[in-house]
Amino acid sequence: VADYQAPVAEYDFLLRRVIDAQPILDASTGGEVDLADVREILGHAGALAAEVIEPLNAIGDRSGNALTDGRVSTAPGFTEAYKAYAEGGWVGIGLPREAGGDGMPAVVVAALNEIFSAANMAFSLGPGLSVGAAYAVFTAASDDLKRLYLPPLVSGRWTGTMNLTEPQSGTDLAGIRTIARQRPDGTWAVKGQKIFVTWGDHDLTENIVHLVLARTEGAPAGLAGLSLFLVPKHLPRGDGTPGERNAVHTVSVEHKLGIHASPTCVLDYDDATGWLVGDQHRGLAAMFVMMNVARVGVATQGLGVADRAYQRAAAYAAERVQGSVEGRPAGTPIAEHPDVRRLLLSMRSTVSAMRAFQLQVAAWLDVARAQPNTEASALAEFFVPVLKGWLTENSVQIANDGIQVHGGTGFIEETGAAQYLRDARILPIYEGTTAIQANDLTRRKLVRNNGATAQAAHALVESAVRSLARHDHPVAQRTVQRLNAALVSAREATATLLEQAKDNPRDLLAGGVHYLTQWGLLAGGWMHARILTAALDAPEDSDTARRALDADFYGAHHLSRIPSLTEAIRAGEIV
Ligand SMILES: Cc1cc2nc3c(=O)[nH]c(=O)nc-3n(C[C@H](O)[C@H](O)[C@H](O)COP(=O)(O)OP(=O)(O)OC[C@H]3O[C@@H](n4cnc5c(N)ncnc54)[C@H](O)[C@@H]3O)c2cc1C
């Protein structure tokens, strides 16, 4: 099996020629880091991922975690790999400098997250949650809490978790029952049970920092009554070292379809000592900081698994010989069967679109952080649910295609192709299911400003089409025509949904996931147009033939799906 190749050169091309990331780097690092440095950083990440973290992917899948006497032990090799990851400074690389991090912008973090997720998704979830927890503490916690908890979270000495879900309260957080009572000393006694807590307990670090959504006594019902609490596994002593064990107990570890190496825990809080993060009854706002980081992160996990599934399938198809390949000499491998070629090109062209789209959203987030309430922040808000929903649904499809390329061998666990599908399957579920992303996109991001951001995004696609139209390359011309046709259909879908929102909101919700998919497909075509334009502008170092092939395939096979989705959206709810 071919080793994992981190897409370092691809990111270099995208960051330089498609996204123009240097001004973003300047703004976030004060001019200290340039694109050559980023390439080097990604190279180091790629080496750690390929040499240390990926070799544990199958091991973790097979051995999972064990819960013995209330303690979770992780799969063999994970402790050492995590140590290498934390000591390499990878946890805090994207956290703000004021929080003790390196301040790398989201465009760099996105690339790093892809690489580590591709190598071992179950592993990379742990540090990903620590980053979210550090953000929440940095943004909302008191100075005392920041002093005590930020350094170990940012360095990776401790990890963080996110505790929202309870048995009766999954998507709808209004049903949360975990309760917090204030003690005379100002701390809080947190009581209740949380389920599905990712990396909720483990033996990688000496302490774990749980961020827990709970209801204070007498708080209003529903979402408005939620507050956020920080509850450590061990109560820190004055000098910051972990002391007495807190009353949070691991009740069980779930048996799951995939990500076996990631301990998904049921945690019982039995009057555990906690501290309020942010204001009382403002818990959801504080948790949203964490959830937004996590949504983009989960989208990127999908990209990582998808690219890894593609790389494995492409390597297999280049060697496996089966049947006579139409129009090719005897002994030609299956990669040349037109249908296997279709599968591989579908995977590759979609991965390219996903990667560029993810970088574009990261770039808007970076600009929005420096200049809130601008077009960049509106675009970031509009596209985050599209990114989360589309990339994660694609990851399942691409991992599935990867198995198909392998034939029967793909169904056999030893090959490794099946693990990607099992791992990817959680991605469209956690951090808000695809339906929840679609509700956010349609109800909040589309309808609330009467389609203004959608129109702005359509105009951006049009402008990319105009740039591409200047090239008389045949694929450029075909892509221009396909994008123009897709835009007409996508605008029609937008107008239809805005009407449905007034007339019958059930119709709007019935078509929401289709609309999200349509935006993903259109964003992918838009990205291919920009990639192709950049490649044709500087063909000497741009791998232009491959990029043109990907754009052509994507246009014919994926952009072409947009009108059928408009048709389904127009039908509304079928009753
Ligand atoms: C492996 C794993 C790890 C997890 N990690 C964490 C974690 O670290 N922390 C944490 O707090 N939680 C975690 N979760 C929980 C996860 O976020 C929830 O499972 C998810 O939000 C869905 O909630 P639910 O399972 O209760 O499903 P439900 O909310 O019951 O949803 C069931 C179905 O109904 C649909 N549905 C529900 N409401 C609506 C609606 N309003 N509109 C349209 N459709 C709707 C959903 O889309 C879904 O298809 C994890 C779950 C798993 C399986």
Rounded CA separation 82/94 (Å): 17
How do beta strands 159-163 and 208-216 pair?
parallel
Q: Mean pLDDT, to the nearest integer, of 122-131?
A: 97
What's the pLDDT score for residue 186? Answer: 97
Provide the token pair at 490.
Answer: 């996508």
Q: What is the DSSP string of 189-245?
A: EEEEEEEEEET-S-SSSS-EEEEEEEEETTPPSSGGGEEEEEEESEEE-TTS-EEEE
- Summarize the confidence of residues 275-297 as an average pLDDT: 89
| Known catalytic residue at 431 | yes
DSSP state of 256: -
CA distances from 156 to 114, 119, 150 (A): 19, 19, 10
CA angle 365, 84, 121 (to 5 degrees): 55
- Both tokens of 184, joined, read 């005379």
Residue bearing the bigger pLDDT, 542 or 530: 530
What pLDDT was estimated at residue 542?
A: 82
295 Cα to the center of ligand 1, angstroms: 13
pLDDT for 29: 92
How confident is residue 291, by pLDDT bands cut at 50, 70 and 90?
confident
| Separation of alpha carbons 241 and 148, rounded Å | 9
How do residues 350-400 score in pLDDT, each as one tens digit? 999 999 999 999 999 999 988 888 999 999 999 999 999 999 999 999 999
Ligand 1 pocket by Cβ (under 6 Å): 162-165, 170-171, 196-198, 256, 264, 426, 429-430, 433, 435-436, 439
Distance from the alpha carbon of residue 14 to the mean position of ligand 1, in angstroms: 34
Compute CA 225 distance to the chain's CA centroid, rounded to the nearest angstrom.
Answer: 29
How much is the pLDDT for 540? Answer: 84
Q: How high is the pLDDT of residue 357?
A: 98
Q: Whose CA is nearest to atom 12 of ligand 1?
A: 165
pLDDT tens-digit map of 201-249: 999 999 999 999 999 999 999 999 999 999 999 999 989 999 999 999 9
Mean pLDDT of the chain: 97
Taking the alpha carbons at both ends of the chain, their separation in whole angstroms is 50
> Of all protein residues, whose CA lies closest to atom 26 belonging to ligand 1?
170
Average pLDDT value for residue range 419-438: 98
Q: What is the pLDDT of residue 80?
A: 98
Whole-number Å distance, alpha carbon 6 to ligand 1 midpoint, is 31
Burial of 327 (0-12, 13-18, 19+ CB in 10 A): exposed
State residue 71 phi and psi, 5-degree precision.
-120, 140
**pLDDT score of 293 more than 90:** no
- Quick one: pLDDT at residue 288? 78
Phi, psi of 468 (to 5 degrees): -70, -35
The pLDDT, as a whole number, for residue 541 is 76
Cα(563)–Cα(294) distance, rounded to whole angstroms? 32
pLDDT tens-digit readout, 153-202: 999 999 999 999 999 999 999 999 999 999 999 999 999 999 999 999 99
Q: Give the burial string for 401-431 (b: 16+ CB within 10 Å, else e).
A: bbbebbbeebeeeebbbbbbbbbbbbbbebb
> Is the distance from CB of 290 to CB of 133 less than 8 angstroms?
yes
Q: At what angle do helices 474-503 and 512-537 cross, to 10 degrees?
A: 160
What whole-number distance in Å separates Cα of residue 210 and Cα of residue 158? 11
pLDDT, one tens digit per residue, over 480-518 is 999 999 999 999 999 999 999 999 999 999 999 999 999
Q: What is the pLDDT of residue 166?
A: 98
Whether 97 contacts 103, CB under 8 Å: yes
Tens digit of each residue's pLDDT (9 = 90 or more) over 436-458: 999 999 999 999 999 999 999 99
SS3 277: strand
Instruction: Kindly tell me if the per-residue pLDDT of 475 is higher than 70.
Output: yes
Question: What one-letter code names the amino acid at 187?
Answer: T
Query: Closest ligand 1 atom, CA of 162?
Result: 9
Which residues partner with 215 through β-bridges? 179, 226
Tell me what pLDDT residue 362 has: 96
From 121, 130, 162, 171, mutation site for ligand 1 pocket: most ligand atoms within 8 A of C-beta? 171
Q: In percent, how much of the chain has pLDDT > 90? A: 96
Cα distance between residue 506 and residue 369, in whole Å:
35
At 433, the amino acid letter reads T
Strands 188-198 and 234-236: unpaired
Residue nearest atom 32 of ligand 1, based on CA coordinates: 171
pLDDT, tens digit, for every residue of 308-325?
999 999 999 999 999 999
Catalytic option among 10, 87, 431, 540: 431
Strand, coil or helix: 275: strand
pLDDT at residue 98 greater than cutoff 80: yes
Separation of alpha carbons 547 and 348, rounded Å = 10
- State yes or no: pLDDT of 1 exceeds 70: no
How far is 76 from 64, CA to CA, in rounded Å? 9
